[in-house]
Chain A
Amino acid sequence: MASRRKKKAQAQLEEQGYVSRSQAQMIWQAFRRHRVGNVGTVIVLLFLLVAIFAQYIGPMSFSYQSRKHPFAPPTTVHWRDDDGSLSRPYVYATTRAIDRTTYAAIFTEDISKKYYIRFFVTGGSQHNLFGFIPTTGHLFAARADDGTEAPVFLLGTDMLGRDMFTRCLVGSWVSLAVGPLVILIAFPLGILLGGISGYYGGGVDMFIQRVCEVFLAIPGLPILMAMGAALRGFGLSAMMVFFGVIVSLAIISWGGFARVIRGQVLAIREMDFVTAASAAGASDLRIIVRHITPNITSYLIVSATLQIPGMMLTEAALSFLGYGIQEPMTSWGQLLNAATNIGAMELHPWILIPGAFIVVAVLAFNFMGDALRDAVDPYSIL
């Protein structure tokens, strides 16, 4: 009854040109306005979707070695028949030979047989969909009419003839997980301790800041390198090393958040509205939650935004130095590390593609966060 009346009142107001919106609505509206941010968000969501179905979308297992196709270039997908008319997309099988004078590898298509691309196929390599549904289904495969199959390397292969397309998709698991996982550990810790420190000041501040500073005084990359070396000392599996890297990253980054938040809180608690709230008898908790937190949210979003992709890049840098993700596991950083070889880069440029995945993902995360930043601050001038 009451809600109907409210709706009616609102409709009347809108008729008169007034619009009333909740905070969430305003944030959503502001977010929608940020076009690049929307694109970024869509890309991030796409990445997540693709990551979930990675082994289904990829035509073969990410560790399958096609021995005769090392460093095979992306397979050409043909659209036209021999007579030039449009056809169902098909590929040819290729064979590799080394030119003994230039030592260049040459791939030649065997045009005697066409392998048509078929979608939603079964009978490929086995994998577990969502991690627990065993299936041999794949999004696509190239099969001739007699049922024989030819490999399709959409993004070429690596040194061992492994499909780069599948590897990039599977590699996204680690790369996409690193940032959020680190933030998940480091952020709550930073906000809690930084907030308490900045708000109460005095002895508590002093103590937390000293603890914080010990962690801040630990130099990031150098200690990560040392931690990476130490971690593998326990003979841990690749998976555990991955979690080790995440915990290491969280350990060295929470202090930074705490410090930034403390600085903000320190400035805000001097502001009139906080003094006023305090004078009005508001509890500390209320002041922190209702008055201070909203004022530092934009700051939190900006730093979180810049942190997630930063973590992805750190993972890549660690892999480059040999202290990150190891075979047989894979990540974009680890894939790109294999490409940081100028010889390979020049002759087989397709192995640089994981770099594009990193750049696009980092960009997308940044823009998404950017849009969020503008959105949570709905009063900013447009």
Chain B
Amino acid sequence: MKNALILAGLLVITSLAVFGQGYPTQPADALVFPVGVAGTVYEDMELGVRGGTITIANIEDPKGWNDMTAHETSTTYFTQRQHRGLVNLDHISGAIVPDLAKSWEISDDSLVITFHLREGLKWSDGEPITADDVVFTYNDLLLNLDVDTNGRDGQLLPDDTYPVCEKVDTYTVKFTMSVIFRPALNSLSFSILPKHKLAQYVHKLNPEVPVGTFNEAWTLDTPLTELVGNGPYIVTDYQPNVSVTMTRNPYYYGYDPAGTQLPYYDTHISAIVTNQDVSMLKFRNGETDVYALRPEDIAILLPEGASKGFHVLITDQPGYGTTWFLINQDVGLAEGVDNEKREVYRNVKFREAMAHCIDKETMIQNVLNGLGGPQWSPVSVPSPFYAGRDYYGGPITENNAVIFEYDPAKAAGLLDEIGVIDADGDGYRDLPSGAPLAMEINTNDNTTRVASCLILVDDWQAVGLNVTFQVVDFNTLVDRLFGSSGDLIYLGLTGGDEPNSGANVYNSCGSLHAYRYSACDEPDEIDTRVDELLGIGANTFDLDEAFAAYVEYQQLLSAQLGYIYTVVQSFQYAYYDYVGNAFKASPTSTPGGNNGLLMELCFDKRLL
């Protein structure tokens, strides 16, 4: 009993040590979310109350607590709730909005961006947040070659230099660029890390530690009391394979218009489960409050919602990301074989014929259970730059769309036209020379992709194309993607709002220009124009100008049929009715996650 009391006392003391008292009053520079304010995108949301716990399920364990070295969403789900950056992508409008920086200005020559930080803000341990933290994060971590981070490449400018980061005063930093680059603002949303906690692990600043020490800082093994952040939540407990508990940061600078400090929920628990089925069961069992559902779950959850008290939110809008197959136009190039096949693959009419066999309606109805949409563009549908809009950020009209409708007869006609006919009467079409044409499509072990491939193959077979289907290991698939041994490959890529994030894919020399790597050395007119348009889109801060460039870019790429797009799942999730403001979420690039939910604005209605 006595021991228990002492233990309890110790716990209180440690938690006080970890978390200071919080701000005595709302800081003048607090970030106020216009919850319920008319005329904003937040107008239909409600003011909440503090308290309670929200529980969600995550599919994988985090790999560490270090946002800088994190490589995957299972980790960044937590670190990005623990750390915030200068600017943020507004989850609802998709616009770039102030976050840690209250404002910024862009110089007349568009080469210098100056950020003004909010003043008087503190880290979760009570230390002040200043420009030094920003400079430390950028210069000593992000650009430090000893640090193993995927974030560095995102900062790269088109001329292979990085923006130069300098401190102007305690609350001002500026970034100077050598070329005009609009997406830079986007990439400057990187998370800011606390210098006073992490500088000690950086060899450059603390020569006593060996090179690379930072990569092993803030691992899962680190005592959680070490973690300090500026986001709404700080990780306070971790049970491997079981759960991650995040507790509110007393020094988070987000407030609602009524002066209540955010987040509303005191605790955010993430239950770690191993698959979506268990995740759904836990939601139905009332163990989790929110669930990002799969198309096949909907007919089960919808009828249950009323009696169990949860709501299923269905959006017709497709989510981020692209799903496609490619016809390797460099097949056999390196080996010097398959010359005629390669010639046929390079014929755009052949690819058009292949595209006319895509039964997108069946894919949507049978594979996505009706919850998805056809896709034709390299840019994700939710992006304001999506060409299916009339102007930047406008409503979706599909006026500019380039569509190859499902029409096997037309496909057969096209094939006849280019001489791909059944010469030997074996039931399969042959190459113009009469040699047999055998193709193989590969994808990895993923239910949706496998089913889509089976549908594709069935239609291709029906027009007399000898295509077989083979599931291969994910890594083999990626090897085939990068090599010239691949034939047809079915895969998907994640996507975002910024079309320039696809530069590495669609630029003729991009590392993921997998449908024709040889385009780098011998680009055709379309390749050259696409490269140009990518430059135009990135080199202007005029969004309308950028939009016009990206429309042409999307139309050219779609007609070129390098990556041939199929269908994309729409975004839907379910939440219990007592979770306030949960209805207001945006589509997410990871259908399994809950990143689209504005977690700091959700609250427990039962506490009202």
- The answer to whether A and B touch in the complex, with CB atoms under 8 Å apart, is yes
Interface check B489, CB cutoff 8 A: no
* Known contacts A67-B366, A343-B297, A347-B300, A160 near B470 by CB under 8 Å: no
A326 to B444, CA, bound (A): 10
Interface check B505, CB cutoff 8 A: no
* Known contacts A103-B302, A233-B475, A237-B470, A327 near B454 by CB under 8 Å: yes
Interface check A203, CB cutoff 8 A: no
Of residues 355 through 377 on chain B, the ones whose CB sits less than 8 Å from some CB of chain A are 359, 362, 365-367, 369-371
Of residues 323 through 363 on chain A, the ones whose CB sits less than 8 Å from some CB of chain B are 326-328, 338, 340-344, 346-347
Tell whether, in the assembled complex, residue A160 and residue B445 are in contact, meaning their CB atoms are under 8 Å apart: no
Tell whether, in the assembled complex, residue B296 and residue A341 are in contact, meaning their CB atoms are under 8 Å apart: yes
Interface check B379, CB cutoff 8 A: no
* Known contacts A65-B455, A67-B362, A235 near B472 by CB under 8 Å: yes
A284 to B234, CA, bound (A): 74
Tell whether, in the assembled complex, residue A235 and residue B299 are in contact, meaning their CB atoms are under 8 Å apart: no
A347 to B302, CA, bound (A): 12
Tell whether, in the assembled complex, residue A343 and residue B359 are in contact, meaning their CB atoms are under 8 Å apart: no
Interface check A124, CB cutoff 8 A: no
- CB neighbours (8 Å) of B297 from chain A are 343
Cβ contact of B365, chosen from A70, A328, A341, A342, cutoff 8 A: A70
Tell whether, in the assembled complex, residue A343 and residue B366 are in contact, meaning their CB atoms are under 8 Å apart: no
A101 to B298, CA, bound (A): 10
Interface check A86, CB cutoff 8 A: no
Interface size range on B against A: 35 or more
Tell whether, in the assembled complex, residue B472 and residue A159 are in contact, meaning their CB atoms are under 8 Å apart: no
A160 to B370, CA, bound (A): 14
Tell whether, in the assembled complex, residue B454 and residue A160 are in contact, meaning their CB atoms are under 8 Å apart: yes
Output the nearest chain B residue to A102 by Cβ-Cβ distance.
B302
Tell whether, in the assembled complex, residue A343 and residue B476 are in contact, meaning their CB atoms are under 8 Å apart: no
Interface check A201, CB cutoff 8 A: no
Output the nearest chain A residue to B461 by Cβ-Cβ distance.
A63
A325 to B277, CA, bound (A): 22
Tell whether, in the assembled complex, residue B472 and residue A341 are in contact, meaning their CB atoms are under 8 Å apart: no
Cβ contact of B470, chosen from A63, A70, A238, A338, cutoff 8 A: A238
Tell whether, in the assembled complex, residue A238 and residue B475 are in contact, meaning their CB atoms are under 8 Å apart: no
- CB neighbours (8 Å) of B299 from chain A are 102-105, 343, 347
* Known contacts A70-B366, A98-B370, A343 near B445 by CB under 8 Å: no
Cβ contact of A342, chosen from B280, B447, B470, B480, cutoff 8 A: B280
Cβ contact of B458, chosen from A65, A232, A322, cutoff 8 A: A65
Tell whether, in the assembled complex, residue A327 and residue B450 are in contact, meaning their CB atoms are under 8 Å apart: yes
Task: Tell me the interface secondary structure of chain B in the complex.
Answer: helix
Tell whether, in the assembled complex, residue A232 and residue B455 are in contact, meaning their CB atoms are under 8 Å apart: no
Interface check B451, CB cutoff 8 A: yes
- CB neighbours (8 Å) of A341 from chain B are 277, 296, 447
Tell whether, in the assembled complex, residue B469 and residue A327 are in contact, meaning their CB atoms are under 8 Å apart: yes
Cβ contact of A67, chosen from B277, B296, B359, cutoff 8 A: B359
Output the nearest chain A residue to B452 by Cβ-Cβ distance.
A160
Interface check A229, CB cutoff 8 A: yes
Interface check A161, CB cutoff 8 A: yes
Of residues 465 through 514 on chain B, the ones whose CB sits less than 8 Å from some CB of chain A are 468-473, 475-476, 480
Interface check B281, CB cutoff 8 A: yes
Task: Tell me the interface secondary structure of chain A in the complex.
Answer: loop
A101 to B306, CA, bound (A): 13
Output the nearest chain B residue to A343 by Cβ-Cβ distance.
B296
B425 to chain A, nearest CB (A): 16
Interface check B336, CB cutoff 8 A: no
Interface check B81, CB cutoff 8 A: no
A160 to chain B, nearest CB (A): 6
- CB neighbours (8 Å) of B369 from chain A are 103
Tell whether, in the assembled complex, residue A159 and residue B476 are in contact, meaning their CB atoms are under 8 Å apart: no
Tell whether, in the assembled complex, residue B472 and residue A342 are in contact, meaning their CB atoms are under 8 Å apart: no
Interface check B24, CB cutoff 8 A: no
A161 to B362, CA, bound (A): 11
Tell whether, in the assembled complex, residue A232 and residue B473 are in contact, meaning their CB atoms are under 8 Å apart: yes
B470 to chain A, nearest CB (A): 7
Interface check B303, CB cutoff 8 A: yes
Tell whether, in the assembled complex, residue B470 and residue A343 are in contact, meaning their CB atoms are under 8 Å apart: no
Tell whether, in the assembled complex, residue B447 and residue A238 are in contact, meaning their CB atoms are under 8 Å apart: no
Residue among A160, A229, A340 with max Cβ neighbours from chain B (10 Å): A160
Interface check B311, CB cutoff 8 A: no
- CB neighbours (8 Å) of B281 from chain A are 342
Cβ contact of A238, chosen from B294, B302, B362, B471, cutoff 8 A: B471
A67 to B462, CA, bound (A): 13
- CB neighbours (8 Å) of A326 from chain B are 445, 470-471
Cβ contact of A232, chosen from B302, B362, B365, B472, cutoff 8 A: B472
B530 to chain A, nearest CB (A): 32
Tell whether, in the assembled complex, residue B451 and residue A343 are in contact, meaning their CB atoms are under 8 Å apart: no
Tell whether, in the assembled complex, residue B300 and residue A160 are in contact, meaning their CB atoms are under 8 Å apart: no
Of residues 337 through 396 on chain B, the ones whose CB sits less than 8 Å from some CB of chain A are 359, 362, 365-367, 369-371
B517 to chain A, nearest CB (A): 20
Output the nearest chain B residue to A322 by Cβ-Cβ distance.
B445
Output the nearest chain B residue to A65 by Cβ-Cβ distance.
B458
Output the nearest chain B residue to A325 by Cβ-Cβ distance.
B471
- CB neighbours (8 Å) of A235 from chain B are 472, 476, 480
A90 to chain B, nearest CB (A): 27
- CB neighbours (8 Å) of A229 from chain B are 473
Cβ contact of A343, chosen from B294, B370, B455, cutoff 8 A: B294
Contact with B along A307-323 (1 / 0, CB 8 A): 00000000000000010
A67 to B408, CA, bound (A): 15
- CB neighbours (8 Å) of A342 from chain B are 277, 280-281, 300
A342 to B277, CA, bound (A): 6
A98 to B365, CA, bound (A): 9
Contact with A along B424-459 (1 / 0, CB 8 A): 000000000000000000000101001100110010
**Which B residues have a C-beta under 8 Å from some C-beta of A?**
277, 280-281, 294, 296-300, 302-303, 359, 362, 365-367, 369-371, 445, 447, 450-451, 454-455, 458, 468-473, 475-476, 480
* Interface contacts beyond A237-B470, A328-B454, A343-B277: sample of 6 additional A-B pairs, CB < 8 Å, sorted by A: A105-B299, A160-B451, A235-B476, A238-B470, A328-B469, A342-B280
**Which A residues have a C-beta under 8 Å from some C-beta of B?**
63, 65, 67, 70, 98, 101-105, 159-161, 229, 232-233, 235, 237-238, 322, 326-328, 338, 340-344, 346-347
The 10 tightest CB contacts between A and B, nearest first, are A70-B366, A232-B473, A326-B471, A343-B296, A342-B277, A103-B299, A322-B445, A343-B297, A103-B298, A104-B299
A-B contact pairs, 13 of them (CB 8 A): A70-B366, A159-B366, A160-B366, A160-B451, A232-B473, A233-B473, A233-B475, A235-B476, A341-B447, A342-B281, A343-B296, A343-B299, A344-B296
